[in-house]
Amino acid sequence: MKKITKNLFAQCFTTVALCIFLLTGCNCGKCRCGDKQCNQEKEECAMQKAAIDNIMNRVSVRQFTGGKITDEQLEQMLRCAMAAPTAMNKQPWEFLVINDEEMMTLLGEDFPYSRCGNGAAVAIIPCGNLQRAIEGMPDFWINDLSAATENLLLAAHAMGLGAVWTGVHPNAERVRHLQELLGLPEHIVPLCIVPVGVPAEQPEVKDKWDTSRIHYNTF
């Protein structure tokens, strides 16, 4: 009986240890970037560094050369946008792609703050679909679409393209105007306009790191 209890204890211990190992990874100092070939020390891992550099060096670009972007680049940005986390995995989004020159001119004229008239190749308009929103908590779509928009900006930057988030929602007048211009039904609410193109400027990266804005446990 004593032996059975001992064995059971050993089995439980091994299972728990294995679970912890699988969930947290080993603590051997090797990189966990996901690349099976990568056996570098954590600090040296090129993939990890590239991902972090991409986040740290992204800037808003508002001037474009007028150059085109490829269909592959456009799809890559949209794929990254749709990879974002969403509350209850609702994915309450629709993405309008404006790639018609006349429409871009019109957007640039009607929404000068959107920078669509500054030589951007396309504009992507992430919209919330209120019919797909969480019942009782519909406003979560704003968080979901914001996460998608940031992914989109990061993807553009990673591919050497320029982009900027230009705000629409929650300005009711801008939302209504854009809904009218693009023929959006009431339940499709544009969050922002993101012009994307070949950058004609290289703005300085802003250093926003401020330890005084970090609070541990209580404010």
Where along the sequence are the contacts to ligand FMN (CB under 6 A)?
59-60, 62, 113, 115, 164-167, 203, 206
Query: Shortest Cβ contact with ligand FMN: which residue?
Result: 167
Q: Least separation, in Å, of the C-beta of 7 and ligand FMN?
A: 58
In this complex, which beta carbon is closest to ligand FMN, that of residue 45 or of residue 62? Answer: 62
In this complex, which beta carbon is closest to ligand FMN, that of residue 45 or of residue 164? Answer: 164
In this complex, which beta carbon is closest to ligand FMN, that of residue 103 or of residue 142? Answer: 142
In this complex, which beta carbon is closest to ligand FMN, that of residue 45 or of residue 86? Answer: 86
Paired tokens of 13 = 């211990």
Contact between 116 and 104 under an 8 Å Cβ cutoff? The reply is yes
End-to-end CA distance of the chain: 54
Rounded CA separation 218/200 (Å) = 44
Rounded CA separation 116/110 (Å) = 10
Q: Least separation, in Å, of the C-beta of 62 and ligand FMN?
A: 5
Q: Could you please report the per-residue DSSP string of 20-36?
A: HHHHH---SSB--SS-T
Q: Least separation, in Å, of the C-beta of 204 and ligand FMN?
A: 8
Q: Least separation, in Å, of the C-beta of 212 and ligand FMN?
A: 19
Q: Report residue 2: phi and psi, to 5°.
A: -60, -40
Give the count of beta carbons closer than 10 Å to the beta carbon of residue 146. Answer: 16
Rounded CA separation 133/138 (Å) = 5
What is residue 181's three-state secondary structure?
A: helix
In this complex, which beta carbon is closest to ligand FMN, that of residue 123 or of residue 164? Answer: 164
Q: Least separation, in Å, of the C-beta of 29 and ligand FMN?
A: 33
